[in-house]
Structure 1
Amino acid sequence: MSRGRLAGTVGSWRTALRIARRETRRARGRTALVLALIMLPVLALTFTAVTFDMSELSRAERMDRRLGAADVELRWVARNAITQTAWGEDWWGERTEVVPPARPATAAEVTALLPAGSRVTPVRWWMPFEVRLDGRLVGFEALALDLTDPLARPLARLRAGRPPTGPGEIAMSPPALRRLGVRVGDRVTTADGARTYTVVGVVEFPDNLGEVVALPSTTPTGPGQAVPSWLVDLPGRPDGTFVYRLNARGVVVTARTPAPGRDDMGTGATALPDPAEAGNAVLVGGLGLLEVVLLVGPAFAVGVRRRRRDLALVAVAGGDHVHLRRVVLADGVVLGAGGAVLGLLLGVAAAFAGRPLVEQYVTHARLGGYRVFPAALAAIATVAVLAGVLAALAPAWSAARQDPVAGLAGRREAPATGGVGWSSACCSPSVAA
């Protein structure tokens, strides 16, 4: 394309966009309708994308929820040497199959493996806890930890009362309290009647907003329960051989930085997206695009019929069918962009304002930091503008084929050619043969 032709095309689009902006101010009712039809799908997709991005915790956020204020987490899972992944998410025997330990390790045994000055506190994740309610067994998820220890304190949020300190005290989440119909100070007896606990606090765990019980860290481990974890406060940064030394003793290490020289098993941020999720996203986006085109197209067609005289004036002033198409397509660009901007702003605001409801009733866990998923928002905005252009495409072709004389006269069709009439080709009198 020559420079002159390119300049003419740019100038033509600039003029068409100015006409489109003026038309949006003149036809406010139609503009509001088209903006609403484009904005609503954009708002819904933006809300979903932003909420999804906030629900996908970053590695640092996952480590904070797992480690609390500790430097590393240790799990003594074998009596023989093991090899683990970079973040301790999986492990296997180094030379033979993993041989489980005969009994849980003690604090003294774990401390003996660590540098001098290290401090440990035990955590047992998601143990079963059953009580009898109205003659029925009611099960809860429970954690055994010391919420008075600075290492484990960030793992939970104390909402009322105080943390459990003695062997006969527990704290419960609000849903668990409502399920049992108890309050702080009441007593709860286990299903087998062996132990009775006093509820001394109300706690909330960010990874589980459901019915959760916080047990004392001294609660004994039952058969078949998960291996206890140990949160460790190290006197300094672990050296390069720290993970290798502990793996040789059958201990898995989870730290805030990946273990050197370990395979990440494809679980990092560079992992490929799930094909099913990508296909669902494309399907939803395609259906949203089709919906906008089908709903907005008739509104553009009505606008073209009402602007027949304006389009005829453009033709009389020297505009050809290409210019007429651009004038109508510019409406799709302007309204699509306007609907995209409004939908993005309202969708982001709705996602931020609706976080508590999403956390409580959808994810049942606290979301991560406030993020807006820029790549998804850019794609949504592009689809919105494309939908506006596609919706205006058929009316644009119709406008390019209309007769200028009929448009100036306010008629939808050209005048009959019997007798004296006007030729749509040259706008001069002609006598029918």
Structure 2
Amino acid sequence: MTAGRGGRLAGAVGSWWAALRIARREARRARGRTALVLAMITLPVLALTFTAVSWDMSKLTRAERTERRLGVADAELLWVARGPIAQDAWGEGWMSGEPTVEAGQVTAEQVAALLPAGSRVVPLRRWVSFDARVGDRVERDVPGRAVDLADPLGRGLARFHSGRAPAGPDEIAVSPAALRRLDVRPGGTLTSGDGSRSWRVVGVVEYPDDLGPVVTLHPATAVPAGAEPHPTWLVDLPGTVDEALFRRLNDHGVLVHARAPAPPSEVDVVGPDAFGPVDVEGMSVSVLVGGLGLLEVVLLVGPAFAVGVRRRRRDLALVAVAGGDDAHLRRIVLADGVVLGALGAATGLALGVAAAFAARPLVEQHLYGVRFGGYRCWPEALVAIAAVAVLAGVLAALAPAWA
């Protein structure tokens, strides 16, 4: 019994191997039909691969997010309460066991007093908005940030295209998108919406987490009405943020975001990342696009396989005369789908990855509005896309095979 099963298995493997060799030879001989089928399989694979690779590069790792948030700083502090707090590992959530009293306005000297000797702090407001006059119209809610880009701690957050950092409250730096939206040039002047004050544009700078129209103000500038009420503080320490410093800052109501996670607290604090970044809408769209691509391949490639079978009737008849049965003939036709599906998958994956890497600057600027992380692929998604492409080739050849 076992020997019989082994013989049948060996026979099936040998039959499939011969069918794949015949399909490969036929693909080389019928180059026109092969090119048509490959194009119809490759295009959906290329599009799905381009989307998957771009999406994977856009999702920053924890280290990349921390690097983008801190720049060259050792930590970012936010004084949230006048009493002890408990925070999550990365300073993205906090709670207090007592009635919370807001910290209110704090100074750099007060923050530095909680840090080791030799530490340095720089204020940062990430959300500042104001109105600006552009010709005869007023641009509402222009996004901005207030940070000293001349300081190494502040400069580490941005990348300069040209010019220099604002040196006082009457100077600003703008992003390339802000140059277009506000219709200004380096050396020009930007006026507030009510015309009460103006700033000279001294630099062009971009933030990797926002490629939109962003204006950078000097910290000495009067805080606009649309700014966040309290700044955060970028910190340069003589050492690292150890457990003792975490405890001391939390005991004074200071939320800490450092390069290393905070030590566990007695109270479990759940941050936003605890639930995972599940993009249900994006996943649904991907599944829909993948399903439509599979359906398109099956519907368009099926007739091409049917034409190929009709043109190969003589070859298939010779196989039948040589002792091949219906199963052997079906395997030969299905092997066409396997071979062309695999070739289309390999070609589409290679072109899709190359296109995603090459078009990355355009996708960052015009689709996502942020700079991506490192150059990387999404292996699981690419394997799934390749499997779907091969499956589509087999399904397209299924009807001609049974006919």
| Distance in 2, Cα, partners of 1:101 & 1:136 | 39
Q: 2:43 is matched with which residue?
A: 40
**Cα shift at 1:279:** 3.6
**Residue type of the alignment partner of 2:144:** A
Q: 1:177 is matched with which residue?
A: 179
Structure 1, unpaired ranges of 5+: 399-433
Please give the residue correspondences for 1:402-413 in structure 2 after superposition, counting only pairs within 5 Å.
none
1:356 counterpart = 2:357: no
Q: 1:209 is matched with which residue?
A: 211
**Residue type of the alignment partner of 1:41:** P
TM-score, normalised by the number of residues in structure 2: 0.94
Q: Is the 8 A contact 1:78 1:250 kept in 2?
A: yes
Aligned length: 396
Q: Is the 8 A contact 1:146 1:164 kept in 2?
A: yes
1:367 is paired with a residue whose SS is coil
| Distance in 2, Cα, partners of 1:198 & 1:188 | 6
Q: Is the 8 A contact 1:87 1:264 kept in 2?
A: no
Q: 1:302 is matched with which residue?
A: 307
**Cα shift at 1:397:** 0.8
Change (3 A) 1:223 1:380: same
| Distance in 2, Cα, partners of 1:119 & 1:102 | 21
| Distance in 2, Cα, partners of 1:135 & 1:282 | 47
Change (3 A) 1:364 1:240: same
**Residue type of the alignment partner of 1:48:** T
- The range that moved more, 384-393 or 171-180, is 171-180
Q: 1:327 is matched with which residue?
A: 332
1:241 is paired with a residue whose SS is helix
**Cα shift at 1:101:** 2.4
1:62 counterpart = 2:65: yes
Please give the residue correspondences for 1:180-259 in structure 2 after superposition, counting only pairs within 5 Å.
180-222=182-224, 225-226=227-228, 227-259=230-262
| Distance in 2, Cα, partners of 1:237 & 1:272 | 29
Q: 1:107 is matched with which residue?
A: 108
Q: Is the 8 A contact 2:95 2:269 kept in 1?
A: no
Q: Is the 8 A contact 2:93 2:272 kept in 1?
A: no
| Distance in 2, Cα, partners of 1:135 & 1:66 | 37
**Residue type of the alignment partner of 1:195:** R
Q: 2:53 is matched with which residue?
A: 50
Q: 2:321 is matched with which residue?
A: 316
| 1:203-247 deviation per Cα after TM superposition (whole angstroms, max 9, x unaligned) | 111111111111112223355732201111111122223222212
- The range that moved more, 38-47 or 234-243, is 234-243
**Cα shift at 1:120:** 1.0
| Distance in 2, Cα, partners of 1:187 & 1:324 | 78
1:281 counterpart = 2:286: yes
| Distance in 2, Cα, partners of 1:151 & 1:266 | 26
Q: Is the 8 A contact 1:164 1:216 kept in 2?
A: yes
Q: Is the 8 A contact 1:246 1:253 kept in 2?
A: yes
2:90 is paired with a residue whose SS is coil
- The range that moved more, 80-89 or 50-59, is 80-89
| Distance in 1, Cα, partners of 2:328 & 2:354 | 39
| Distance in 2, Cα, partners of 1:163 & 1:134 | 25
- The range that moved more, 166-175 or 43-52, is 166-175
Per chain length, whose mean CA-contact separation is higher, i.e. which structure has more relative contact order (CA < 8 Å, sep 6+)? Answer: 2
| Distance in 2, Cα, partners of 1:381 & 1:349 | 16
Q: 1:342 is matched with which residue?
A: 347
Structure 2, unpaired ranges of 5+: none
Q: Is the 8 A contact 1:79 1:99 kept in 2?
A: yes
| 1:23-82 deviation per Cα after TM superposition (whole angstroms, max 9, x unaligned) | 001100000000000000000000000010111111111111110100100011222222
Q: 1:130 is matched with which residue?
A: 131
Q: 1:411 is matched with which residue?
A: none
Please give the residue correspondences for 1:73-88 in structure 2 after superposition, counting only pairs within 5 Å.
73-88=76-91
Q: Percent identity?
A: 64
Q: Is the 8 A contact 1:187 1:197 kept in 2?
A: yes
**Cα shift at 1:368:** 1.4
**Residue type of the alignment partner of 1:196:** S
Change (3 A) 1:345 1:118: same
| Residue number among 379, 386, 402 corresponding to 1:397 in the alignment | 402
| Distance in 1, Cα, partners of 2:22 & 2:269 | 56
| Residue number among 5, 16, 21 corresponding to 2:19 in the alignment | 16
| Distance in 1, Cα, partners of 2:285 & 2:220 | 47
